[in-house]
């Protein structure tokens, strides 16, 4: 083999052996303020607690085109939450995910489907809540008109916490309709369904070391349970099986070329031993660098 041909074959072999070079990282920073009407997930007949939480988060993404219509995305996200009302809920969270997205066809009206594997770990001030989790999610997006787009998600996951009361598994699905009213303003309509383990609390009676619930039926229905001092009053936390329906709406105006504001209201109703209600009001600003 002549030297020029040998060099060409060597270059071809090196190109096959070379690792993938992803584009990125691309960075996003976000600040979020959330109010929950029932942060302790208690039934209406009991004492529900509301709370404000401030979150600061940063995200890095890497993109790799596998072929003309397929994109591989790796994401790392770190966040710190400060619950100004109940500091046992303060946490530091680290998430990682890998997603493959394929677009079936050309143009804005082509359907896109992605499959994502994600893992996370969170450290709470109330250390028994600290957990590691894993989830598998299937997502699809479809543009209906120039102004309307629908997004659907199906996900299954599990959490393993230091205390089994805060562990569990879940399956959930969500549907979002995005309406681009103008080039700047977007309106979102949101619906969701979830089936799985939930943590609820009931006011506790008794004395330290001998707590019992005001509602003995909850005690009989629950699986693991424990006394929690998180909410500044005697409560017992239970892990129950429940089904949640949620719905809401959001405004997402663009504040600039790389900055977006999100204003969202979400209502959730969980049917377990009792019916548990929660309203979440969220304001968030995200900037892409």
User: Quick one: pLDDT at residue 10?
Assistant: 42
pLDDT band at 205 (very low <50, low <70, confident <90, very high): confident
Chain Cα centroid distance, residue 115: 15
Residues across the chain: 289
Query: What average pLDDT does the segment 113-120 reach?
Result: 98
Q: Taking all residues of the chain, what is their mean pLDDT, rounded to a whole number?
A: 89
Quote the CA–CA distance of 140 and 226 in Å, as a whole number: 40
User: What are the contacts of 113-121 at 24+ separation with CB within 8 A?
Assistant: 113/138, 113/139, 113/140, 114/138, 114/139, 114/140, 115/139, 118/157, 119/95, 120/93, 120/94, 120/95, 120/96, 121/93, 121/94
pLDDT of amino acid 212? 66
What does the pLDDT look like over 15-31, one tens digit per residue? 443 445 579 899 999 99
Looking at residue 46, its pLDDT comes to: 79
Residue 15 burial (C-beta neighbours within 10 Å; 0-12, 13-18, 19+): exposed
Task: Name the residue ranges covered by the structural domains of the chain.
Answer: 27-288
Eight-state DSSP code of residue 3: H
Cα-to-chain-centroid distance, residue 113? 19
User: What whole-number distance in Å separates Cα of residue 200 and Cα of residue 273?
Assistant: 10
What is the pLDDT confidence band of residue 91, given thresholds at 50, 70 and 90? very high
Write down the CATH number for the domain with range 27-288.
Answer: 2.40.160.40
Report residue 5's pLDDT band, with 50, 70 and 90 as the boundaries: very low
């Amino acid at each position: 083999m002549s030297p020029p041909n040998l060099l060409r074959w060597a270059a071809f072999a090196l190109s096959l052996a070379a690792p993938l070079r992803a584009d990125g990282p691309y960075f996003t920073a976000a600040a979020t303020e959330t109010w929950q009407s029932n942060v302790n997930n208690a039934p209406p007949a009991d004492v529900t607690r509301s709370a404000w939480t401030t979150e600061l988060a940063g995200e890095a993404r890497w993109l790799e085109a596998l072929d003309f219509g397929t994109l591989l995305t790796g994401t790392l996200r770190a966040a710190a939450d400060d619950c100004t009302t109940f500091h046992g809920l303060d946490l530091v969270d680290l998430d990682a995910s890998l997603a493959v997205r394929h677009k079936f066809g050309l143009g804005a009206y082509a359907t896109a489907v992605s499959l994502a594997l994600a893992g996370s770990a969170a450290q709470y001030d109330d250390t028994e809540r600290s957990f590691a989790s894993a989830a598998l999610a299937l997502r699809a997006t479809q543009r209906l008109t120039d102004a309307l787009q629908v997004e659907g998600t199906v996900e299954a996951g599990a959490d393993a916490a230091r205390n089994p009361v805060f562990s569990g598994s879940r399956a959930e699905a969500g549907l979002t309709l995005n309406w681009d009213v103008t080039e700047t303003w977007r309106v979102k309509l949101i619906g969701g369904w979830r089936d799985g383990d939930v943590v609820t609390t009931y006011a506790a009676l008794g004395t330290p070391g001998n707590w019992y619930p005001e509602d003995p039926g909850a005690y009989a229905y629950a699986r693991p349970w424990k006394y929690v001092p998180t909410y500044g009053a005697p409560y017992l936390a239970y892990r129950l099986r429940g089904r949640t329906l949620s719905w809401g709406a959001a405004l997402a105006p663009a504040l600039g070329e790389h900055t977006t504001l999100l204003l969202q209201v979400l209502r959730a109703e969980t049917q377990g031993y009792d019916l548990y209600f929660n309203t979440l009001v969220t304001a968030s600003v995200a900037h892409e660098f």
